[in-house]
Each structure stands twice: as C-alpha cells, then as structure tokens.
Amino acid sequence: MELRPMRSWIHHSRGKVLRQAGAGRKALPDLHEDMLTRQGFEGRDAHLYRRNEPTNWKRVEENADNLDFDGRVLEPTDLTDADGGPLRLFHNPDVSIWVSRRSANMTYSARNADGDELYFVHEGTGTFYTEFGPIPYEPGDYVLVPKGTTYRIRPAGPVNYFLIVESVEELGFADIGPLGRRAPFDPALLYVPTPELDELGDGRNEDGEWPVRIKTLGEYTSAFYDFDPIDVEGWKGDLFPFKINIRDYRPIMSDRMHIMPSASAMFATPSFMVGALLPRPLESAADAEPFPPYHRNMDYDELSFFHRGTALSLEIAPASISVIPRGLHHGLPHAIMENIRKKKIDRTDMEMIFVDTVRALIPTPEVQAARRWEHYSQVRQETPGDGQ
C-alpha cells in the first residue's frame, strides 16, 4: 500500500461552529455553513458559519455569475452534414469540451494527434468503428479513444448526442485509493474491441477515396487512400480504446456523512477530472446532511452536463450545461434543504457528468449564444419557502 504524505491535524475553532463539520447543521439553525477549500476538496479548508446565505446575491456582474447553457439548441455541423464535425464549447490549454450530434455515418475517418478523446453518450446508439475493432455505444457509455487512434462513428439512427472531453495529457482512471481492485467498478467490465473488418464501405468521400482527417495543433488536414485505412486484423499491447457505462460505476457512500463529489471522479489527469453524480440513497443518520454545505472552489472551474433524472424532484432539461467559475459560491438553498427534510426524500435519481478543471474554462461564442441568462435567479425565486 502506498503511503501518502501526512495531512495537517492542527485545526482551530473560533466562535460558533459545528462539532462535526458537514453534519448536524440543525444545531446552528440561524447560521449557514460555508466551505472555503483548496485543491477541490483535498487541500486545506475552512468552514465558516454565516448569518446569510452566500448564494443569495442581489446581482452579479456578467463574468462572475454561474453560467447556464441549453445544450439542446447547440448545432454542430455533423447534425446536418455527414462530412461535418463536433462543435467546441469550452477550452483551456489542457482540455477542450465539445458536442457532437452526428446523424449519419462519417464520410471520413478521424485521427486526433492533439490528445485523447473521451466521449460520453447522452443519446443514440451505434458503433465506433476503430482500427482496434468496433465498439457499440448506447446512452450512458464513456468511450475513450486514445490519441492517434483512427476511427469513425456509425449511428444506428439520426438522433445522437455526445459530450466530448479532449485531453492534451494522457487520460487515465482517477486514483481510487484503498478501496480495492473491484471498487467502485470492476475493470473486467471494460469493453475492449476485437478487430472485425466488414464490407459496409462507409468512410468514403464523393470521389470514392477514404480520407483520414487528422487534427494537429488545432487544425485539420487529410490523408487520402484508395482502400479503407481501418484494415487491422489483429493487435496487442496496453494502449487501446474501450468503453464503460455509468451504470457499472457504484457510487461511494456513507450513511453518516456526505462524501464529497470529487470521490465520484472516474477519469483524471493532473489538470482536470471527469466523473458522474449518480442515483443513490441519501444519508439516513439523524444528524447527516445529504449534500455539501455552501462552497466556493478556489482552484477548479466546475462544468456539469445533465444527462437525465431530476435534481431532487426539480425538473432540469436534459443536455443542460452549467459552469461554476472558481471563487463563486454555490450550493442548495436553505429552503430546499428544509423541504428535503420535511418530505423525507430518501433517494436522488440524478445522473450528471462533471468536469473540474485546474485552469479556467474559456467559453466559445457558439456556446455563449446558447446561454440562459435568467436560469439561476429564476430557480432562487421559484424555490418553495420553508412553510410550503
């Protein structure tokens, strides 16, 4: 077992505080718990107990607000053109976030020389036809395509939606610590392809050539073949594409204390992490709180993609995308927390993908056009009061 560096065990308490941070908030009914943290939830932290909800701002300037986008109105060129491609939404030097809505077989094969590509399948079924072999896809799949892999996508129907995370660094699994080799998912569940050539004949342009569209340094160029470049009959090694579905990931839970979202990370590099908040029973201990206190993340931007389910019975449109910039408070309003207790909700059915990035995410003009300006203020206004 790897020994980790000793963390600081010297903590101070001043004034009115909870005996156990993140639990038993009813002991301070007139105060609101607020976390100030470094390195997400893994570095040093402070819990402050405030008179007022820190998210209840009167107004914020445009660049400081939570960013909320309607992913259903985004239209990458592959939505209507088989020769088209994905649409870039956010980027920084380490990672780019894209959306693809491919409706027909690709007229080319793709090869990304800039980085790994992690596809999350929000809608649709079909096949990633790779030089390692075919990978069938369905909603909830993560499909990891390593840098340099030649592939093309064959949708089974016209309705498809992919969230794509492109990583400059090699993308691996997040450190799961001392949970064992089979938790929170069994590596044997990975779908690893076997070479399988077929005669479908797709991937060709109007001239009957097989183009390979290569992305390098953010630009695209093509090499053209008179034969299908996906012609592999065998492979061996420890570098390969694969898929795994979020249903095969078993969330880490505790009955007495809420486990912070970073424990649900599945993929990671030193620059960002990707994970999912999935259906689970809520903590049931008498003093347990089912969600984190108010929080301002000082070292990560937090992107969320809503796949399906509800947010504690609050309807959220599928494919909604939000970005919470570092330094801005977020968390469930006090009124919602009170209603959870009164209604005795014992389970959440939310399925939401998150991408937390060390460097700030820069939105593109295309995603800015899909921004919903009033979403967060409307949610605060429409939240039922304590007496309802």
Predicted confidence band of residue 3 (pLDDT cuts 50, 70, 90): low
How, if at all, do strands 161-167 and 116-123 pair?
Answer: antiparallel
User: In the listed set 185, 215, 244, which residue is the last one of a domain according to the structure?
Assistant: 244
Do 273 and 290 reside in the same domain of the chain?
yes
Do 119 and 62 reside in the same domain of the chain?
no
Per-residue model confidence (pLDDT) at position 380: 47
In a domain, 257, yes or no: yes
Predicted confidence band of residue 2 (pLDDT cuts 50, 70, 90): low
In a domain, 172, yes or no: yes
Do 189 and 255 reside in the same domain of the chain?
no
Number of domains in the chain: 2
Range of the domain at 50: 25-69+247-380
What is the tens place of the pLDDT at every residue in 229-242? Answer: 999 999 999 999 99
Do 90 and 218 reside in the same domain of the chain?
yes
Do 196 and 339 reside in the same domain of the chain?
no
Which residue type sits at 241?
P
Do 127 and 96 reside in the same domain of the chain?
yes
In a domain, 313, yes or no: yes
Asked if the model's pLDDT at residue 388 lies above 50, the reply is: no
User: In the listed set 244, 267, 290, which residue is the last one of a domain according to the structure?
Assistant: 244
In this structure, what CATH number is given to the domain that contains residue 63?
2.60.120.10
Asked if the model's pLDDT at residue 14 lies above 80, the reply is: yes
Do 233 and 85 reside in the same domain of the chain?
yes
In a domain, 253, yes or no: yes
206-220, 247-261, 299-313 — which one is most confidently predicted on average?
206-220
In a domain, 183, yes or no: yes
